[in-house]
Amino acid sequence: GNLCPRIRKLVEKVKEDSATSIPTWAGKFLFQVKTMYGEQFSVDLSGRTCSCRGWDLTGIPCSHAMSCIFHIRENPENFIHDCYKKTTQMRIYELVIAPMDGPDMWEPTDLPDVDPPNYEPKKSKLNKIRRKEPNEIEASKRK
């Protein structure tokens, strides 16, 4: 398949969860889905949305949408966002960082060398306890 392994595993779980939903066709790519818990959701396959907002947020069809996809006998991979596909990942990482020569082969310049930033240690946080005035009574120490 064209899906990344983690996403394929997630899609398989969503497929199993979709068995509890019953889609009813409402026209073109619109469906009303009832779950076994009495909930109802509206799914638009062309807009890739579900009223549960799960599909909108992740780009992976929720169980309600998955039941509709199976109802029209389509491949679920066609409804998953392209960012989860191997082809997209390969395109993202096809560019490589060009190797460069070592410092001994660099051209000398008249500019000053780049040094690391000056390090100033942070002030101690040990003296955060308020110092008592000499006339204040010391509280008893807990043991």
What's the pLDDT tens digit per position in 109-141?
999 988 999 988 877 666 666 777 878 776 555
Judge whether 14 lies within some domain: yes
Judge whether 70 lies within some domain: yes
* Residue written as token pair 């799960």: 54
The secondary structure of residue 131, as a DSSP letter, is P
Residue 14 has pLDDT above 60, yes or no: yes
Domain of 84 in residue numbering reads as 5-92
Judge whether 130 lies within some domain: no
Q: Which of 73 and 1 is assigned the larger pLDDT?
A: 73
> Closest Cα to residue 32, out of 16, 52, 17?
52
pLDDT at 39: 94
Question: 30: which strand partners?
Answer: 27, 44
Judge whether 128 lies within some domain: no
Question: What gap in Å lies between CA 21 and CA 39, rounded to an integer?
Answer: 9
Judge whether 48 lies within some domain: yes
pLDDT at 127: 61
pLDDT at 134: 79
| Domain count for the chain | 1
pLDDT at 71: 95
pLDDT at 136: 75
Judge whether 50 lies within some domain: yes
Residue 143 has pLDDT above 60, yes or no: no
Question: What gap in Å lies between CA 10 and CA 5, rounded to an integer?
Answer: 9
Q: Are 64 and 43 in contact (CB under 8 A)?
A: yes
pLDDT at 30: 96
Judge whether 120 lies within some domain: no
pLDDT at 47: 95
Residues contacting residue 76 through CB under 8 Å, at least 6 positions apart:
11, 15, 61, 66, 69, 70
pLDDT tens-digit profile of 67-110? 999 999 999 999 999 999 999 989 988 888 888 899 899 898 99
pLDDT at 13: 96
Judge whether 140 lies within some domain: no
Choose the weakest-confidence range: 17-21, 42-46, 74-78, 136-140: 136-140
Question: What gap in Å lies between CA 46 and CA 30, rounded to an integer?
Answer: 8
